[in-house]
Amino acid sequence: MTEPGNKSFNMMEGLPEPPAKGIYFDNNATTPVAPEVVEKMIPLLTEHFGNPSSMHSFGARAGDEVAEAREKVQALLGASQTSEIVFTGGGSESDNLAIVGTLHAKPRKKHLITTSVEHPAVLGLCRDLEKRHGYEVTYLGVDERGHLDLDELKQALREDTAIVSVMMANNETGVIFDVETVGRIVRENGSVFHVDGVQGAGKLPLDLKSSSIDLFSLSGHKLHAPKGVGALYVRKGTKIRPLIVGGHQERGRRAGTENVASIAGMGVACELAGANVTQENTMVRDLRDRLESGLLAAIGDTQANGDPDCRLPNTTNISFKFIEGEGILLLLDRVGVAASSGSACTSGSLEPSHVLRAMGLPFTLTHGSIRFSLSRYNTRDEVDYVIKALPPIIERLRLITPFNEQRATF
Ligand SMILES: Cc1ncc(COP(=O)(O)O)c(C=O)c1O
């Protein structure tokens, strides 16, 4: 390979040609729709297109499909009854319905608690509630492994705490929170407990009926259903006000004609996810572990982030010191591999991941972090390809990086 100073230096020289079919390791962002889900949906978009509220057989068929999907979502979540499932337009809407719906049902309570590592669907909403609606929000911190301090939670709870919202598993690191213990503490205080379960559902076994969780968000496109469909579990007896008011759909908790095909597709996806949870915990975990250990062994100055013993089976978040995640992603994409970085490119500046910052990681590690998130559709050959393709990419980027210690005078 030519040196960076040389005119003929070419970042791509010697890197492998991308495989014909791209390698997708970004399943925490979105997943491919399962063929069984597509098969379910097509007739509902073509032949059986009725409105579930209509009084004819087209409507009845559509209504049956929604009812069947509700049963499948109930089964995946381990809810005690189908009436506890409200279909929504995705994870963000479910989170908003849970939090705002609870606040509106408890107008005298003006305090809520969440964590500093939530998805923007919750964090953005909480900031808006503080800034524009006069609510007070406590953001719980995490330790260097990504875990909450339960004493901090106990101290933060107040008489006027309407709701506590904590994610089941972190979308960037995969770290799993002990929502069961959190729920017991929240319940003792008499507050409502919401879990953003978008990354946990389908990857971890669930039994909501015997948990202390009152509200649980789910998103179709994270478990091989289409985008724009989701669900909120509302424990029987938990009061929420609707965000979308109008018709009587979803027992008055979410007005609007149901997205029948996507709901039915999500039902099938939940059924498949339930059947695949064991596979997720063995085959996908093995692939993830092979990828992680292969990369850590092949590339120096790297570390895996988040508690290694308490993570989603499909996720690894690796920091490559001294380089920017975006550079890695661009070159990975050129060799046919899709992954993701925690940094967000906002107004021209690269903001490092709020999750890794909350865990106290230094600048050199937050900037070069990459998340690989796998699914049951990934293979060992794909993992081995990445273990081979990534080391020369990192080597090249480190030659030109302004963060490199050896190049600190840049
Ligand atoms: C933890 C978590 N919550 C909520 C969401 C938002 O879900 P949706 O994209 O369906 O709105 C995501 C999406 O990445 C997520 O990872």
Q: Is a pLDDT exceeding 70 seen at residue 158? A: yes
At 3, is the pLDDT very low, low, confident or very high (cuts 50, 70, 90)? low
Q: What is the pLDDT of residue 346?
A: 45
- 23-33+277-400 and 35-273 agree in CATH topology: no
Decide: 410 and 402 in contact? Cβ < 8 Å.
yes
pLDDT, tens digit, 9 for 90 and up, residues 226-238 = 999 999 999 999 9
pTM: 0.95
For residue 15, how far is its CA from the centre of ligand 1 (angstroms)? 34
Q: Which residues contact 208 (CB under 8 A, 6 or more apart)?
A: 77, 78, 79, 80, 216, 233, 235
Q: Is 310 in the active site?
A: no
Q: Is a pLDDT exceeding 60 seen at residue 408? A: no
Q: Is a pLDDT exceeding 50 seen at residue 336? A: yes
Q: Which of 126, 270, 310, 345 is catalytic?
A: 345
Q: Who lines ligand 1 at CB under 6 A? A: 90-92, 95, 119, 121, 167, 171, 196, 198-199, 219, 221, 230
Fold classification of 35-273 is Aspartate Aminotransferase; domain 2 (3.40.640)
Q: Which atom of ligand 1 is nearest to the CA of 169?
A: 1
The domain limits of the chain are 23-33+277-400, 35-273
Decide: 175 and 311 in contact? Cβ < 8 Å.
yes
Q: What is the pLDDT of residue 281?
A: 84
Average confidence (pLDDT) over 49-68: 98
CA 117 to CA 361: how far, in whole Å?
Answer: 13
Q: According to the CATH classification, is domain 23-33+277-400 in 3.90.1150.10? A: yes
For residue 138, how far is its CA from the centre of ligand 1 (angstroms)? 21
Q: What is the pLDDT of residue 19?
A: 86
At 403, is the pLDDT very low, low, confident or very high (cuts 50, 70, 90)? low
Best residue among 97, 118, 119, 229 to mutate for probing ligand 1's pocket (most ligand atoms within 8 Å of CB) is 119
User: Highest-confidence range of 292-306, 360-374, 389-403, by mean pLDDT?
Assistant: 292-306
Best residue among 26, 87, 92, 96 to mutate for probing ligand 1's pocket (most ligand atoms within 8 Å of CB) is 92
Protein residue with its CA nearest to atom 8 in ligand 1? 91
